[in-house]
């Protein structure tokens, strides 16, 4: 299922590590059992930005990969804060993004000081400047974040309206544009199934992309996914999502000319001289959501906002934060708590309450 995507991330990761100091690769190897290849690649990108900054500040004059541990040990708090200011004011990173990159550096420096050892059992770093640097205090409270999110997600009748718009109304809206109409007719079962699945389960974009047909259990209305940290989990989805998936699968093989060896759940239209289909990419799914969202009159909608929409509806109808946390695959319950602050009183039916096995309710 996710092996194909994981392999691509690992290839990119190995290529990037060749540009970075040896101790970064050692740290990445240490984290491989706990983090996904995608997360490790993000860490490596963050480290490259930091090491490049050291060069631009003339703190090191050789290649990045030759930056010594001694330099890290000698960095001052003022220099690190200069890097964080660079992220925020020159790269225009949001405070939460700056915190994430600082967290990646804190994790690396902690490894170098408290876990890694030399041959004579000494830590790589005696002094850890990152331990002295505090995270940005985020200005927005959970309630403020929730209120901002509220205007950008689907609420109430909009869930079904958006689904029906993709299944039917988008084509009617573009009936005078033969190219758009034909493209919609060709893909509407697939596109409806994608949106219905996200709205009926809260899956992440990467989890939807990596799904294979064999990952869907049609008897239990569940999907096997690999979550952050390479954790395998079975995630339930709604009966409506099940209906839309089955309708899509009834046309998938013939319409998309799918080879028997291609087990990808969501596939692209046939391409190339041989006219074969391939796994639908993350960017392709993002673009199709953007297309429908704009035409629907809610351009702020994205794959992630559909996930937020599911979470809001689930919490409103079921009001069980620990269960919602598991459904979404959040590592921290604090992340899930955001949805308890979103006001959504006009819903008429539960997302999945009737479909949940008794031992999951």
In whole angstroms, give the CA distance from residue 125 to residue 112: 6
**Strand 216-217 to 231-236 pairing:** unpaired
- Is 314 a residue whose pLDDT tops 80? no
359: pLDDT confidence band, cut at 50, 70 and 90? very low
* Band of residue 354 on the pLDDT scale cut at 50, 70, 90: very low
Classify residue 90 by its DSSP letter: I
Please report the pLDDT score of residue 318 as a whole number. 64
Weakest mean pLDDT among 3-7, 251-255, 299-303: 3-7
For the segment 187-214, what is each residue's pLDDT rounded down to a tens digit? 999 999 999 999 888 888 989 999 999 9
Phi, psi of 222 (to 5 degrees): -140, 160
Q: What percent of the chain has pLDDT above 70? A: 83
Q: What is the pLDDT of residue 1?
A: 46
Residue 361: pLDDT over 50: no
**pLDDT over 60 (residue 2):** no
3-class DSSP state for residue 360?
helix
- 157-172 pLDDT, tens digit each: 787 888 999 998 898 8
Phi-psi region of 272 (alpha: psi -120 to 50; beta: other; left: phi over 0): left
Evaluate if residue 69 carries a pLDDT over 90: yes
- Least confidently predicted of 65-79, 218-232, 330-344: 330-344
Tell the CATH topology of 144-360. Answer: hpI Integrase; Chain A (1.10.443)
- Sequence ranges of the chain with CATH classification 1.10.443.10: 144-360
pLDDT at residue 331 is higher than 80: no
Distance of alpha carbon 166 from alpha carbon 188, whole angstroms: 7
Output the six-digit token pair for 54: 């050291």
Confidence (pLDDT) at 159: 77
Element (H, E) at 227: strand 222-227
3 state SS of 60: coil
C-alpha–C-alpha distance, residues 255 and 105, integer Å: 48
H-run or E-run covering 233: strand 231-236
3-state SS, residue 357: coil
CB 65 within 8 A of CB 18: yes
Q: CB neighbours (10 Å) of residue 133?
A: 17
Do residues 193 and 245 lie in contact, with contact meaning Cβ atoms separated by under 8 Å? yes
CA dist., res. 86 & res. 101, Å (int): 12
| Residue 231 main-chain phi, psi, to 5 deg | -90, 125
- CA angle (278, 188, 227) in 5-degree steps: 55
Which H or E run contains 217? strand 216-217
Q: Looking at residue 299, what is its pLDDT?
A: 84
pLDDT band for position 340 (cuts 50, 70, 90): low
Residue 6, both tokens: 């994981």
Look up the pTM and report it: 0.56
Which positions ≥6 away from 250 have C-beta within 8 Å?
189
Q: Domain 3-139, what fold?
A: DNA polymerase; domain 1 (1.10.150)
Q: Say which residue, 207 or 94, is predicted with more confidence.
A: 207
Q: Are 334 and 138 in contact (CB under 8 A)?
A: no
CA distance 308 to 327: 12
pLDDT of residue 3: 59
pLDDT of residue 181 exceeding 70, the answer is yes
User: How far is the C-alpha of 59 from the C-alpha of 65, rounded, in Å?
Assistant: 14
Q: What is the pLDDT of residue 230?
A: 73
Measure the CA–CA gap between 171 and 299, rounded to whole angstroms: 18
- Give the per-residue pLDDT at 316: 67
For the stretch 35-67, pLDDT in tens is 777 788 889 999 999 999 999 999 999 999 999
CA–CA dist 305, 162 (Å, integer): 13
3 state DSSP class of 152: coil
Neighbours of 176 (CB within 10 A): 7
Per DSSP, 153 falls in state S
Half-sphere exposure of 183 (CA within 13 A, CB side): 11
Instruction: List strands edge to edge, sheet with 222-227.
Output: 216-217, 222-227, 231-236
Could you give the residue range(s) of every CATH 1.10.150 domain in the chain? 3-139
Residues labelled as active-site residues: 204, 228, 304, 307, 330, 339
The rounded percent of the chain whose pLDDT value lies above 90 is: 47
CA–CA separation, 184 and 171 (whole Å)? 6
């Amino acid at each position: 299922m996710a092996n194909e995507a994981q392999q691509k991330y690992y290839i990119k990761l190995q290529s990037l590590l060749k540009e970075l100091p040896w101790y970064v690769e050692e740290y990445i190897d240490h984290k491989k059992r706990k983090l996904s290849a995608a997360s490790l690649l993000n860490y490596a990108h963050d480290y490259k930005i930091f090491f490049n900054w050291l060069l631009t500040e003339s703190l090191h004059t050789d290649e990045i990969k030759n930056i010594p541990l001694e330099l890290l040990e000698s960095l001052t708090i003022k220099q690190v804060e200069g890097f964080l200011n660079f992220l925020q004011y020159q790269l225009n990173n949001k405070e939460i993004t700056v915190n994430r990159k600082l967290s990646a550096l804190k994790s690396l420096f902690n490894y170098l000081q408290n876990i890694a050892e030399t041959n004579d059992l000494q830590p790589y770093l005696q002094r850890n400047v990152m331990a002295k640097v505090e995270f940005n205090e985020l200005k927005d409270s959970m309630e403020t974040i929730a209120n901002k999110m509220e205007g950008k997600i689907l609420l109430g009748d909009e869930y079904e309206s958006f689904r029906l718009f993709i299944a039917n109304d988008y084509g009617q809206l573009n009936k005078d544009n033969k190219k758009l109409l034909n493209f919609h007719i060709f893909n509407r079962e697939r596109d409806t199934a994608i949106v219905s699945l996200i709205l009926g389960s809260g899956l992440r974009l990467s989890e939807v992309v990596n799904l294979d047909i064999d990952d869907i259990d049609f008897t239990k209305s569940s999907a096997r996914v690999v979550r952050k940290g390479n954790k395998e989990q079975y995630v339930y989805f709604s009966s409506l999502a099940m209906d839309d998936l089955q309708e899509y699968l009834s046309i998938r093989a013939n319409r998309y000319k799918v080879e028997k060896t291609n087990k990808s759940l969501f596939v692209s239209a046939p391409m190339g001289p041989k006219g074969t289909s391939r796994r639908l990419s993350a960017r392709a799914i993002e673009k199709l959501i953007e297309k429908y969202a704009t035409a629907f009159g809610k351009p702020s909608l994205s794959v992630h906002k559909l996930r937020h929409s599911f979470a809001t509806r689930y919490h409103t109808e079921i009001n069980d934060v620990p269960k919602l946390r598991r459904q979404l695959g959040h590592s921290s319950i604090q992340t899930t708590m955001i949805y308890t602050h979103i006001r959504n009183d006009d819903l008429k039916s539960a997302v999945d309450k009737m479909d949940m096995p008794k031992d999951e309710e």
